[in-house]
Chain A
């Protein structure tokens, strides 16, 4: 436990000291702000954060791997992984510590978006329930995407490759319904269960994407379902475990 904290602490410090974290946070605010404004500026627009959520769910496909790409790729490139792995640290402690660091950054980023809700409270009467569940969903979704990103980062020393692979996996999981609906009904059923975010009508201004399909839709509507929570937890755990396995596999070779 102490070791996890040590790794997490070091990584958070590195994030704060580097411009990367600020660029990521700024672009996240810019993109989600854009979606938020688009969703509330019509005459009869609903006072909700669904526009923001749609933007966040979409943008995190690229942003989460960008946050995590450094974490293990750089260790491999600098060779410092050799020092970590020859220290009395377990692979699990390294991976979980790094995950916690990235997760803290993303939570901080989400915290900054609270002012969307404040704007809604000032100019309208938003329903607080869906805002609460929306953030809960976003936190779970964020954890899952970071876990995939961290897995990609473990694959090799090149950060750009990690980013592309991470985003690639997340994009595939997001659009999996496109292919699922063209396969036999039984296969489609299974694949649809694997769908990550909203079905992608994000580009449709009316629905803002998260009203149908995927495991995020219910959170956006104000519904907490055990299935959705289990799904995001499972994705997070599975990819963290795969990351640990990749690090451990160095010992088998």
Chain B
């Protein structure tokens, strides 16, 4: 569906995107992940035909992005990061206009518009001026215009930025539902969002793709350490920490402060132990705790979050190949 080969984009001398390649199939749900200024928006602008690539080939649905830009634009629904809307139009007027310039006929709009307004949850606001909507509902209106013409490809640039937490959750749910019908590209610097919605993550940093995989595989692949949560019935925390730190595969052991507060009444100690991945660390730790005669209440290995992976791939050290 989307084929990007050796794409580079320079603004003057400044390289926004350097030699990236990737391929998306129909129905893929992909997250572009990276800090601000990494090149996510530029990549999306190239895909939507807003800015031409400096170098490289981009084909979408078999069309070339430069030669057949008009054909490609028919396939795409796009929500730019700034959520551009005409503030002096009513929601339905705005959506009708956007539908028409995407080539929908009046009868198509008449049929499709109520569906979209319903899906997006804009019903109460259909006759409100866009300028009077809250940020969250503007976001919804923006998403509505992107899906109205039932595009094959949906490109959403930071769709949950700047809206309140409840709306973020609703919007994520909405996007997840949309995923089934479209090839979806989503950019974000919020990592759990990407791992929640997307089946594949492209991590972009300083204009380059530094990682490309499923969120789960990504965390497996890049794992340089593993965390174990440990709950022990004992009062002597210093002794336990000292004992654990004796193992050479343990990188760090510390008190889990969050759990400690919530379980204050228990006579237990909660610890987080960071270990190197190769060893069968859990077994060794469990054995030693029991041998010492401490009560082992719980031992639980925690998969690494995308935040931590992200920190690793985007710090100056190269990720392990």
Contacts and interface: CB of A to CB of B under 8 A. Distances in A.
Interface of A: 3, 6-7, 10, 13-14, 17-18, 78-90, 250-253
A83 B102 CA distance: 10
A251 B52 contact: yes
B84 A83 contact: yes
B80 A83 contact: yes
A89 to B, nearest CB: 6
Contacts of B52: 251-252
B249 interface: no
B259 interface: no
A18 B87 CA distance: 12
Contacts of A84: 101
Contact of A86 (B50, B87, B93, B103): B50
A83 B103 contact: no
A85 B50 contact: yes
Nearest to B12: A253
A87 B69 CA distance: 10
B98 A83 contact: yes
Interface of B: 11, 45, 48-52, 69-71, 73-74, 76, 78, 80, 82-89, 93, 97-98, 100-103, 145
A87 B84 contact: no
A88 B73 contact: yes
Contacts of A86: 48-50, 73, 76, 78
**Which 8 A-B pairs have CB atoms at the shortest separation, nearest pair first?**
A79-B84, A80-B84, A79-B82, A86-B48, A88-B73, A87-B101, A88-B74, A82-B80
Contact of A6 (B82, B86, B101): B101
A83 B85 CA distance: 9
A214 to B, nearest CB: 38
Nearest to B73: A88
A6 B87 contact: no
A85 B11 CA distance: 19
Contacts of A17: 88
26 contacts: A6-B97, A6-B100, A10-B97, A14-B89, A17-B88, A18-B88, A78-B85, A78-B87, A79-B80, A79-B83, A80-B84, A80-B85, A82-B80, A82-B84, A83-B78, A83-B98, A83-B145, A84-B101, A85-B50, A86-B50, A88-B70, A88-B102, A88-B103, A251-B52, A251-B69, A253-B51
B73 A87 contact: yes
A80 B86 contact: yes
A18 B129 CA distance: 13
Nearest to A86: B48
Contact of B102 (A10, A18, A78, A87): A87
Nearest to B80: A82
Given A79-B80, A252-B52, A14 B88 contact: yes
Contacts of B145: 83
Contacts of A18: 88
A84 B100 CA distance: 11
A92 to B, nearest CB: 12
A14 B11 CA distance: 35
A253 B73 contact: no
Interface centre among B80, B88, B100, B102 (most CB of A within 10 A): B100
A3 B101 contact: yes
Contacts of B93: 13
Given A86-B78, A89-B101, 14 more contacts: A6-B100, A6-B101, A7-B101, A80-B85, A80-B86, A82-B45, A82-B80, A87-B73, A88-B74, A88-B101, A88-B103, A90-B70, A251-B52, A251-B69
